[in-house]
Amino acid sequence: MQEKLRIAVQKSGRLSEDSLKLLKECGIGVPNGNNQLKINAENFDAEILFLRDDDIPEYVQDGVADIGFVGENVVLEKNKTADIVERLGYGKCRLSIALPKTRKKRTVKDLDGMKIATSYPFILNKWLKQNRLKADIHVISGSVEIAPRIGLADAICDLVSSGSTLFSNELYEFETILKSEAVLISGKKLSPKRRALLEKLLFRIRSVKKAKYNKYVMLNAPNKSIGKICSYLPGINSPTIVPLAKKDWSSVHSVISESDFWNVIENLKAAGAEGILIIPIEKMID
């Protein structure tokens, strides 16, 4: 039988939609599975396994799945044998220690001797040790944020993104111990065929990621400004310059990165660029 790449994704939760979207952008279709555990992907030698996110590191370690899309927080907490092969840029959150608003603390030393409720005992314990702190870790699996109010703990260590859950539970974020995002993990013992499929997928993921961080820019400018305009457009290649029907004017095309996007646009305008068009890039292949 044909060997397929077995890809684990979260069955239903915060990472499910973005993981399937990324696969789709890589040309891998996932048919609607009506709650199936396993389904064949379209256009790629792959099988998609829908699992609870907490189980993904172990399944990958044990070779039940070859690769998995999962939060780095879960990978580090489960501490299984698997490699992080790519950071994916979605599912961003942080693991933070939060305290009741009434308990204003100044330094991490103030955490000494506290009782901290968390679903992340492994990561928290490691952080406490690194900071030479002794705290009493109380493990709970859900609704960690209510622990201080019901007298179960003095503090919590939990995932935060906007901070609204903390706010509505009268807690404040005291210290971030981990910054996390979704990652792609791989087992250590993939067969050559499966490793080749992973390489193929990674190449596609990197092209999609790169395209997201870059924009295609087109603008018109008088020829006398072209030199200055080009100096603001490093791009991957040198810009394309096309003469316009309008005398002594040209159109300039290039690729700019999103990180310094607005600065570049402002500089281009100041240098005489007009009719600037910014176009999303679908894929970017080196």
Position 87 contacts ligand ATP (CB under 6 A): no
Which residue's CB comes closest to ligand ATP? 71
Residues in binding contact with ligand ATP, number by CB under 6 A: 15
Q: In the bound complex, what is the minimum distance in angstroms from residue 141's beta carbon to Zn ion?
A: 9
Residue 49 or 211 having the CB closest to ligand ATP:
49
3 state DSSP class of 146:
helix
Please, what is the minimum distance in Å from the beta carbon of residue 54 to Zn ion? 4
Interface with ligand ATP, residue 109, by CB under 6 A: no
Residue 231 CB burial class (10 angstroms; 0-12, 13-18, ≥19) = exposed
Residue 259 site contact among ligand ATP, Zn ion, none (CB < 5 to 8 Å, cut-off depends on kind): none
For residue 74, the minimal CB distance to Zn ion (Å) is 7
Q: Is 129 exposed, middle or buried (0-12, 13-18, 19+ CB in 10 A)?
A: exposed
> Coil, strand, or helix at residue 208?
helix
Give me the residue label for tokens 């952080």.
Answer: 127
Say if strands 136-139 and 249-257 run parallel, antiparallel, or are unpaired. unpaired
Please report how close the Cβ of residue 34 comes to ligand ATP at its closest, in angstroms.
18
Least distance to ligand ATP, CB of residue 220, Å: 42
Asked whether the beta carbons of 46 and 190 are under 8 A apart, the reply is no
Helix count (H) and strand count (E) of the chain? 8, 15
For ligand ATP, the closer CB: 52 or 101: 52
Strand partners, 100: 171
| 3-state SS class at 129 | helix
> Which range binds ligand ATP by CB under 6 A, 66-74, 101-109, 126-134, 227-235?
66-74
Helix (H, G, I), strand (E, B) or coil at 189: coil
Contacts of 279 (CB under 8 A, 6+ apart): 215, 216, 217, 218
Of residues 30-59, those binding ligand ATP (CB under 6 A): 52-54
State which residue, 34 or 164, has the beta carbon closest to ligand ATP.
Answer: 164
Which 152-211 residues touch Zn ion, going by CB under 5 A? none
8 Å CB contact between 120 and 95: yes
Q: In whole angstroms, how close is the CB of 1 to ligand ATP at the nearest point?
A: 30
Return the residue of 3, 18, 45, 54 that touches Zn ion, per CB under 5 A: 54
Number of residues forming the site for Zn ion (CB under 5 A): 2
Three-class SS state of 130? helix
Q: What residue ranges bind ligand ATP (CB under 6 A)?
A: 10, 13-15, 52-54, 71, 73-74, 91, 93, 159, 161, 180
Q: What residue ranges bind Zn ion (CB under 5 A)?
A: 53-54
